[in-house]
Amino acid sequence: MSPRTLGLSGVIAALAADQISKAIVVANRSILADGIPVFPGFNLVYLRNDGVTFGLLGGVPWWALSALALGIVVWLTVLLMRAQSRLEAVSCGLIIGGALGNVADRLRFGAVTDFLDFYAGGWHWPAFNLSDVAVVSGVALLLVSEYRASRRPHRREG
């Protein structure tokens, strides 16, 4: 499978997993409003976040955050189309799919649906969703890809 095809598959997989999981959460929002313990350290909840990661930039208009995300998606799409390695392409695809998942929420609801609540004792990590997982995973894989590329021996010309 070519890097480009693999990257586009990453976009589709991340976007589909995110939108399906959020549809289930929204359909069950009354049940999840107070949170449902799944196991110690993890709850399923229903929250709306009008900011970005960790609620930063809360109160910024949804269209501004969407425009910013779409600009980044365009840039990453160019990187995806130029990707030489499959790992780099998948990385870009995951980030693009995750960003598009959150943009879809902003367009429909004006905020992002979050539902994964991890905690230790009384300390809760800010709730997040599968788009966030895809973006963070994509960034981590992109860093690995760049590290691997920097470790390859460089060929000398002439």
Q: What is the pLDDT of residues 120-155, one digit of tens each?
A: 998 989 999 999 999 999 999 999 988 888 887 765
Residue 68, pLDDT score: 83
Q: Which of 18, 105, 114, 117 is catalytic?
A: 114
Specify whether the backbone of 90 is left (phi greater than 0), alpha (psi in -120 to 50) or beta.
Answer: alpha
Q: Which of 18, 105, 117, 132 is catalytic?
A: 132
Q: What is the pLDDT of residues 28-66, one digit of tens each?
A: 999 999 999 999 999 999 999 876 665 555 566 667 778
Closest CA to 46 of 111, 138, 122, 119: 111
Reading the block at residue 89, the tokens are: 């392409």
pTM of the model: 0.87
All structural domains of the chain with their residue ranges = 3-30+63-151
Is 50 labeled as catalytic in the residue annotation?
A: no
> For residue 158, is pLDDT > 80?
no
Residue 54, pLDDT score: 55
The Cα–Cα gap between 42 and 66 comes to 29
Is 34 labeled as catalytic in the residue annotation?
A: no
DSSP of 38-100: EETTEEEEEEEESSSGGGTTTTS-HHHHHHHHHHHHHHHHHHHHH--SHHHHHHHHHHHHHHH
Residue 69, pLDDT score: 81
Backbone dihedral angles phi then psi of residue 21, each to the nearest 5 degrees: -65, -40
